[in-house]
Structure 1
Amino acid sequence: LRPLDLTNVLVAADALHTVRANLDWLVTAKNAHYLAVIKKNQPTMWAFLAGLPWAEIPTGATTRDHGHGHDETRGIKAATVAHLDFPHAAQAIRIHRWRRVKSRPATRETAYGITSLTFEQAGAALLATFARQHWHIEDRQHHVRDVTFGEDASTSRTGRAPAALAIFRGAVITAIRAAGYRYIPEGRLDHVTATAALNLHGFP
């Protein structure tokens, strides 16, 4: 992101990149805004957000999707909270997702986030749009990285190792999809030997 002009651009960050120094740099050095996901790898902040009186806060926006064998409903709540323990954080966000996939039990998921955008700059409806755009990438890339490769649970967080591992995972995901696989785990299972893995990436 360093060479890019990010003035007034919103940058969405998954849990792995929700780091105080990163978010501060986006705002102070790049004049950007952020929407950052908070998961349990930030246990103090996650517990603080989970403990907010969400039952007293009205749902700001609700969206529903139906197609490709699944139904999904997402409700978002946003609240201006003073003294959030992250630089420039202005609002706390809670997204509740209910999903039913054909022939499977319905699932519920609650996600938390923070943003440097104030309520005057972005209310719940606009934040819901931003979050949905972020989760489109999440479903295509980061969900696969987390569930299939265990990226969020990785203990490698120093130096250039996380970035290098992310590049390797991305290359594997891209190669499996290019080979025609719809499901990444299936593609991995078909390429567990060194020879099969090299063939997948086009090495003779």
Structure 2
Amino acid sequence: MPASDRALLSGQCPGLAEYLAWVPDPRNRRGVRHSLTSLLMAAVLAGATSFTAVGEWVADAPPQVLAALGVRRDPLTRRFVPPDEATIRRVLEAVDADRLDAAVGSWLDARLHAAGQAAGHGRRRRRAVAVDGKAVRGTRHASADGQPVHLLAALDQRCGVVLGPVRVDGKTNEITRFAPLLEPLDLAGCVITADALHTQREHAEFLVTGKRAHYILVVKKNQPGLYAQVKNLPWRHIPVASRQHNRGHGRQEHCTLKAAAVAAGLAFPHAAQAICLTRQIRPLDGGRWRTVTVYAITSLDAHQATPAQLAAWIRDHWQIEALHHLRDVSYGEDASQIRTGSGPQAMAALRNLAIGILKTAGHASVAAACRHHARDATRTLETLGLRPA
């Protein structure tokens, strides 16, 4: 990686340069004229949603910003010669997007671990990571079968930061990409939450034995035997262990959770408790109550997690849907016309990196942070830890 990138990324984003160095440059070394890492980072922080927007941001950046970003000068005129849209497009469509995803996710994971250690949490709460998939709908027109690019991602529930996405192509599915997604991450002691698709025995063994983590997995009829076992437990005779009342997003909700020890009687690896979560939901403007019952299993026993914690982790799993909404609204991901090669996945990785940096820098609203950076190009340098030249 060029020295200019190392200088840029050694500020408020320590170690990022080393992680990004894992990603091979797809260009011929003889033809490399531009260092793209810092430019793309700065442009995405400013809210760039497409190759065109990135190129426009670079073209409009003032000289002191371009100098700080390490943009080359013409040897004769001494004027800055930033990369154009075509160069940016060509590189991102050819980059190894899986390596970029792994680098971004591993760096964000390491940064969150470092932040937790710096805070000196003696009795910090157990970390929770949600796993869920998302289709990039705008890419469906470019595929031969009309199917959009599908990405499986892991999200830190506490801070809403993506720790790593992987692409799910037409030759595989989310189940086969579960372990590759989580393998690079340090998950010791964490609890992993996932929907019913990932309630797989191989996943449970991988998490508990391979990663020394715990799981909370939803149980539905895709596992008919397991579903029957959990549903037929004597829930009517098991007392409610946790009650929660929530109001927001246009509705009111009453949740109750029951938990039963099943370590000796459930045919699923490392299962310690079965869970029955009942949600009563009604719109704030009135209407009838709707009742939803969700069953789940967990490797956490009653001494490792309280019922209230179990309920909170199940509820917070759906924060990953809020992230999907954020990427669609603030970054226009579903409407994106980037369809070729590694472009969709690479841009998604850069969006995740930008969101992670903005959230860990203390910005409560990513949309407001993008507008803040777009109004003054030098603010992106401040966030990245670089002074204007």
TM-score normalised per structure 2: 0.37
Same amino acid, percent of matched pairs: 43
CA RMSD, 1 decimal: 2.4
Q: Which of 1 and 2 has higher RCO (CA within 8 Å, sep 6+)?
A: 2
Q: Which has the higher strand share?
A: 1
The residue identity in structure 2 corresponding to 1:86 is F
Change (3 A) 1:69 1:175: closer
Query: Which residues of structure 1 form unaligned runs of 5+?
Result: 142-169, 181-196
**SS of residue matched to 2:211:** coil
Q: Which residue of 1 aligns with 2:233?
A: 52
Q: Which structure has the bigger radius of gyration?
A: 2
Return the match for 2:298 from 115, 118, 129.
115
Q: Secondary structure at the match of 1:100?
A: strand
Give TM-score scaled by structure 1 length: 0.69
SS of the residue corresponding to residue 318 of structure 2 reads helix
> Which amino acid letter does the alignment assign opposite residue 177 of structure 1?
V
After superposition, the Cα gap between the structure-2 partners of 1:203 and 1:37, relative to the gap in structure 1 and judged at 3 Å, is closer
Distance 1:80 1:32, change over 3 A: same
Aligned to 1:37: 218
1:135 aligns with 2:318: yes
In structure 2, runs of 5+ residues without a counterpart are: 1-181, 340-389
What is aligned with 1:96? 278
* 2:204 corresponds to 1:19: no
**Structure 1: 4+ residue segments shifted above 6 A:** none
Number of matched pairs: 156
1:2 matched to 2:183? The reply is yes
Task: Using the TM superposition, give the Cα deviation of residue 13 of structure 1 relative to its aligned residue in structure 2, in angstroms.
Answer: 1.3
Kindly report which structure 2 residues correspond to 1:120-199, keeping only aligned pairs within 5 A, or say none.
120-137=303-320, 139-140=321-322, 176-178=328-330
> How far apart are 1:83 and its partner, in Å?
2.2
Measured against aligned partners, the alpha-carbon deviations of 1:150-174 in whole angstroms (never above 9, x if no partner) come to xxxxxxxxxxxxxxxxxxxx7xx77
Higher helix proportion:
2
Cα 1:203–1:126 change in 2 (3 A) is closer
TM-superposed deviation, 1:202:
3.3
Partner SS state of residue 76, structure 1: strand
